[in-house]
Structure 1
Amino acid sequence: MMDCGSTNHMEWVSLKPGVPVHVMKFGQPSPEATSTCPSKDDNLMFLVIPGNPGVIEYYEKFMETLYLANDKRIPVWGISHTGHVSTKHVDGSMKELKGQLINETSLEQQVQHKLLFIKTHIPCHTRLILVGHSIGCFIALRLLPYIDERSHHNFFLFPTIERLSSSFAGRIISTFSTFFFLIRWFLLTLVFLLSFVSSRIQSGIIRAYFGRSVIDECALRATMSIFDTSCVQCSFTLGEEELKVVNELDKDLVQKYIDRISFYYGLNDHWCPIEFGYNMKRLFPMADVRFCQDQIEHAFVLRFSRIMATIVSEWFRTIQNSMAERMLIQNSDVKLNKLRSRSSNNGTLKDEEKKGEIFGDETRYLKMNHNDSS
């Protein structure tokens, strides 16, 4: 069993100058995998796209459990949002990443960064299983047209892909939008002051905030990024943009990939109400939509990582079995059609042979009559 406290599966990647991203990896894609074997597990990879804040370390226990649940056969990678993870403690060979972050942290730029990472760091023969959470689902949905041929399946967990401002949490934020500048200023000032205290005190503050709640240790560590004002600023800015951009559902895009998307909605989700799930099922009756039965919170990475990973793993296994059955049926149909075609061709040949025999008999009969008359 891997240790959640271990960090040897995390690394910084420079997508381009001034754009570092924090990546977490469990397993590696098989070097023997080829594009001609898209159904094999050694040709697949789960890619986790986080919500907001987009710190991939929150998903460590989820990713680890998902990796182990598939017997380590399918790599599970995850990528943070640009600007959401503190680079204060980056050193050694990655020291150059500590420079000024280029202003590339908008929602569309987050989509493009994920696409750039896929193109430059994941082998082209690897087929992807995107696992989006919250706004990560919106990013994943926008990615699909760019990775159409590489997309195997997609899981959208608590998906904020429509009408974000009309959700309970969205309405509250909109109500106080007039004072948002003051709230942001106050919080950023508080974060700036707390950034000077020791990491031990910062950790104590986080633990005090969560109280007696049983929080995964990796989630506590991930929250340490809130003591970096630049990270908090990026998270705030992305949140503001989400409320403006995530409006009506892109029905055409969802329709195009509906057979490759599985949706998971919470029963009491303040960001993505269950009514959105009912509406999704109403719009697309054949959609794979599930509703939470375990009272899992929207921010499942805090307390429900193992449960959510188990759900996704078993769900994926069911989908794989269904795909295998469909493929078997299709192959059987192809073979049956070939047999019918051969049988039909054989029947035609026999008919032609019979016609030839009859024609030959008629010819011989006419010759005999001609000789008799002579």
Structure 2
Amino acid sequence: MTSILRKVEWVRVAGKWTKMSVMGLDISDETLKIQKKKENENRVIILMIPGNPGNEGFYAHFGREVLQNLIKKDEDEQKNLKNQYLFYTVSSLNHVRMPDHLKDDGEHRNHDRISLEEQVNHKLSFVKEHLPRGKQLYILGHSIGSYMMLRIIPEVIKEGFHVEKAVGLFPTIVHMANSPNGKRLHGTLATLNHHDWLTKTICWWVDYLPNSIKKFLVGLNLRHPNTPPEIVDAAVELVHMDVFRNIVHMSNDELDIVLDLDERLLEKQDVVHFYYGLKDGWCPVQHGYSMRDRLGEEQVTLDEDNCEHAFVISEGDIMARNVIKYFD
């Protein structure tokens, strides 16, 4: 099996410390240089924009499988053999707690609550500041990451990136508050968001738990045999008061903001594709039918593998195989 390398680091994005990762066969500094397209450019960049919670670690196994499937496909078909695939994932601001040596250094603090709009701008800044100008850019957005993806596409194209395709996986881009999960959780999220003191009171103590206890508690809820270890590690990083406050704040924003379809989201609809689940509590399949009627079957896929909205937990292998069709 192909050996995929992975590098995780904290970088400044518009002055704010952000956890990101990059994977590929070659992730040397020379390969990752951000310069404009070079002669004989062969870098194919894949950007993963997470859902909520937005920890890059949730997509480590999925990204590795995507790369391995792409490389195998090229070898089997004996084409694109010179392609150099790089899979980037950017965490959302304050969905991972900054380490102690950085927490007072950047332009934000761990206790800051970051809005959905700020997270959108953050993803655009990441593209501008940290993505190489390869020969092609594929963007994958998961859940609310699909909304952020659609918001930034026009500006990304203006920046000179060749966006080949932008794929929304289980996309939450309309009527989130009216979804089954939205109806069930909106009241609770609104209360916790409005009364931030209450949220702090409920969960302040988790910051004092040893990592071993956090891992044990997380493991009780992630017992599927197909759950990769990176998922457990990422989930442990969520067990902090300020991270939970940010998950709540962004979730409430999503339910308040993602209402009727914003037509601006489909401004570049020629590059946009969607993948809808059949049993999605955040994005009912009816949304998929409506989008398929609008864009056609070539651009809208309905899942045939009974995958969950949070597919990365135990179905990353399946989805990695399914998304390969989007890569020409």
Match of 2:326 in 1: 316
Classify the secondary structure of the residue corresponding to 1:9: strand
Aligned to 1:275: 286
1:12 maps to 10
Confirm or deny: 8 A CA contact 2:36 2:132 kept in the other structure. Answer: no
Report what 2:76 is aligned to: none
Task: Look up the SS of the partner of 1:100 in the other structure.
Answer: coil
TM-aligned CA deviation for residue 309 of structure 1: 1.1
User: Do residues 293 (structure 1) and 291 (structure 2) align?
Assistant: no
Q: CA 1:178 to 1:15, structure 2 compared with 1: closer, same or farther past 3 Å?
A: closer
- State whether structure 2 residue 231 is matched by structure 1 residue 219: yes
Separation in structure 2 between the aligned mates of residue 203 and residue 30 of structure 1, nearest angstrom:
33
When residues 98 and 111 of structure 1 are mapped into structure 2, their CA distance, relative to the original with a 3 A threshold, is closer
What amino acid sits opposite 2:47 in the alignment?
A: L
Note if contact 2:14-2:125 (Cα within 8 Å) is conserved in structure 1: no
Compute the TM-score of the two structures, normalised by the length of structure 1: 0.74
Kept in 2: contact 1:162–1:249 (CA 8 A):
yes
Residues in 2 aligned to 1:30 and 1:16: alpha-carbon distance in whole angstroms: 19
Q: Say which structure, 1 or 2, has more relative contact order (CA 8 Å, 6+ apart).
A: 2
TM-score (structure 2 length as normaliser): 0.83
CA 1:156/1:268 → structure 2, altered by over 3 Å: closer, same or farther?
Answer: same
Match in the other structure for 1:250: 262
Counterpart amino acid of 1:111? V
CA distance in 2: counterparts of 1:49 and 1:302, whole angstroms: 16
Kindly indicate whether residue 169 of structure 2 is the aligned counterpart of residue 157 of structure 1.
Answer: yes
Gaps of 5+ in 2: 72-82
List alignment gaps of at least 5 residues for structure 1.
Answer: 321-374
The alpha-carbon deviation at position 154 of structure 1 amounts to 0.8
Greater shift after overlay, 279-288 or 25-34? 25-34
Give the CA deviation at 1:85.
0.4
Structure 1 residue 192, shift from structure 2 partner: 2.2
- Please give the alpha-carbon distance, in whole angstroms, between the structure 2 residues aligned to 1:156 and 1:181: 27
Quote the residue 1:345 is aligned against. Answer: none
Q: For 1:264, which of 267, 270, 275 is the aligned residue?
A: 275
| Aligned match of 1:167 | 179
Q: Which has the higher helix share?
A: 1
- What is the CA–CA distance in structure 2 between the aligned matches of 1:85 and 1:68, rounded to whole Å? 27
C-alpha contact 2:32 2:132 (8 A) present in aligned 1: no
Question: Secondary structure in 1 aligned to 2:313?
Answer: coil
The letter for the 2-side match of 1:78 is T
Q: Which of 238, 241, 248 is residue 236 of structure 1 equivalent to?
A: 248
Q: AA paired with 2:153?
A: L
Deviations 1:167-192 (A, max 9, x none): 11011123556754699766644532
CA contact (8 A) 1:33 1:126 kept: no
Could you say which residue in structure 2 is the equivalent of 1:201?
A: 213
Change over 3 Å in CA distance of 1:75–1:125 after alignment to 2: closer
Residue 44 of structure 1 deviates from its aligned partner by 2.1
Change (3 A) 1:213 1:189: farther
Report how many residues are paired. Answer: 309
Does the aligned pair in 2 maintain the 1:33–1:43 contact within 8 Å? no
Instruction: Give the RMSD, CA atoms, in angstroms.
Output: 3.1
Question: Equivalent residue for 1:44?
Answer: 44
Which structure is larger by alpha-carbon Rg, 1 or 2?
Answer: 1
User: Percentage identity across aligned positions?
Assistant: 26
Q: 2:241 is matched by which residue type in structure 1?
A: T
Partner of 1:22: 19
Q: Is the 8 A contact 2:34 2:132 kept in 1?
A: no
Matches within 5 A, 1:49-198: 49-71=49-71, 73-88=84-99, 91=101, 96=105, 100-101=109-110, 103=112, 105-148=114-157, 149-150=160-161, 151-176=163-188, 179-180=191-192, 188-198=200-210
Conserved 8 A contact 2:193-2:248: no
